[in-house]
Amino acid sequence: MRLVRGPLVRRRRRQRLRQALHRGARLTPSGDDLRTAVVVVNWNRADLTTRAVRAVLDEGAADQVVVVDNGSDDDSVAVLRRDLPEATVLALGMNGGFAVGANAGIRHTDADLVVLLNNDAEPAPGFVAALRDHLATAPAAVAAVTGRIVLAGRWTRLPAGAAAAPDQRALRDHDGHLWVPSPDGEVRLNSTGVRVDRAGNGSDRDWFAPADRVADTAVFGFSGGAAAIRRAALDDVGLLDESLFMYYEDTELAWRLRRRGWRVEYAADAVVVHDHSASSGVRSDLFVFRNARNRLVVALWHAPWPTVLRAAVRTLARGLRGLAGSSTRREARLVLAALADVVGHLPAHLARRVRQQRVASVPRGAVEPGA
């Protein structure tokens, strides 16, 4: 009986989703009629947040702007309320992570579209309107649209084997090359969307590609730092997962959307300039631990078993290999601590995997996370 009932239930869910999407295609307002809210999360960086929100307010395309202060221990709330009187400033009592802050902002508005914007990203003129207009004309099955995120400043690639100066900021591209800030360098991309590889690693599509790169409209996931999401899609699959605290929240939500039959697209004309990791640091302990942990957790919840196995093996190998070097030992311990945390809560993660399977209408194998 169970073998017959499972496919039947999934077919009925797919039918209900198609009916809902068809109704959405007929009822969804278009263009300027789409009520749009922008949500920005702040934590101890009122200067960055004010810059980002001021650009949104000056554009004038948002019907509401909500700034969520995530338990800052400085004078952020007072500064934001003083300098951004046109915005709604919500003050949370503690820092529960990006997802908690973003969800608080989403719940505070009933707009048709919610734009998520990193506080260390400065939107170009027309950013909000470009996201709104893209979703207004896209098929109803498109749940989210992600923008073109450009890295702030100019960058020069170091020669092979060369190292950055001790006090010099450096970022590594997907091919392993180091790039450093340089006044006569090139403008490079941060993201045109999110993809996930065969080992569960989420990454920015077109990371460090030339700024004029032409990318496919279709993409697996959106970047939570510059994207718009339909309210109907959030009502269907839920908000960002608050247990992740920070990192991989957008990837995890993309998995839920894709397994419910929704799609994500990229809008090249929705541009922000991003000061990469200005809020949390590029290789902070928080980044290393949360990135390693959440990569495994999201794979366990959503990815096929071969991806989960590769993610676990590579994490263990990375940790053990790092213990051999004095310069990598601290990072290795954080990675192994992340692995231990996941293993320690394995029954809960497996239960979550089962729950996700029950509500999904698209098989795991039908989702292409590397797109």
- Closest-CA residue to 312 (of 286, 340, 280): 340
Q: Quick one: pLDDT at residue 166?
A: 87
User: In the predicted model, is pLDDT for residue 16 greater than 90?
Assistant: no
Amino acid identity for residue 357 in this structure: Q
User: In the predicted model, is pLDDT for residue 24 greater than 50?
Assistant: no
User: In the predicted model, is pLDDT for residue 1 greater than 70?
Assistant: no
Q: Is the pTM of this model over 0.85?
A: yes
Give the residues across from 38 on adjacent strands.
65, 115
- Range 115-125 average pLDDT: 97
Alpha helices in 76-178 (DSSP H): 76-83, 98-107, 127-137
- Over the chain, what is the mean pLDDT? 91
User: In the predicted model, is pLDDT for residue 4 greater than 50?
Assistant: no
* 213-227 per-position pLDDT tens digit: 999 999 999 999 999
- Range 228-253 average pLDDT: 97
User: In the predicted model, is pLDDT for residue 38 greater than 90?
Assistant: yes
pLDDT class of 18 with cuts at 50, 70, 90: low
- Closest-CA residue to 137 (of 164, 109, 113): 113
142 Cβ partners below 8 Å, 6+ apart?
Answer: 135, 230, 262, 263, 264, 265
pLDDT class of 10 with cuts at 50, 70, 90: very low
Q: Quick one: pLDDT at residue 276?
A: 77
Q: Quick one: pLDDT at residue 161?
A: 85
Amino acid identity for residue 334 in this structure: L
Q: Does residue 59 sit in helix, strand or coil?
A: helix
* 41-76 per-position pLDDT tens digit: 999 999 999 999 999 999 999 999 999 999 999 999
User: In the predicted model, is pLDDT for residue 347 greater than 70?
Assistant: yes
Least confident segment among 65-74, 160-169, 202-211, 322-331: 160-169
Amino acid identity for residue 210 in this structure: P
Q: Quick one: pLDDT at residue 240?
A: 98
- Spatial contact of 338 and 345, defined as CB atoms under 8 Å apart: no
User: In the predicted model, is pLDDT for residue 333 greater than 70?
Assistant: yes
pLDDT class of 315 with cuts at 50, 70, 90: very high
* 68-93 per-position pLDDT tens digit: 999 999 999 999 999 999 999 999 99
Q: Quick one: pLDDT at residue 280?
A: 47
User: In the predicted model, is pLDDT for residue 295 greater than 90?
Assistant: yes
Q: Quick one: pLDDT at residue 63?
A: 98
User: In the predicted model, is pLDDT for residue 21 greater than 50?
Assistant: no
Identify each DSSP E strand in the chain by its residue range.
Answer: 36-42, 64-70, 88-92, 113-117, 121-123, 142-151, 155-157, 171-172, 178-181, 189-191, 194-196, 202-204, 218-219, 226-230, 263-274
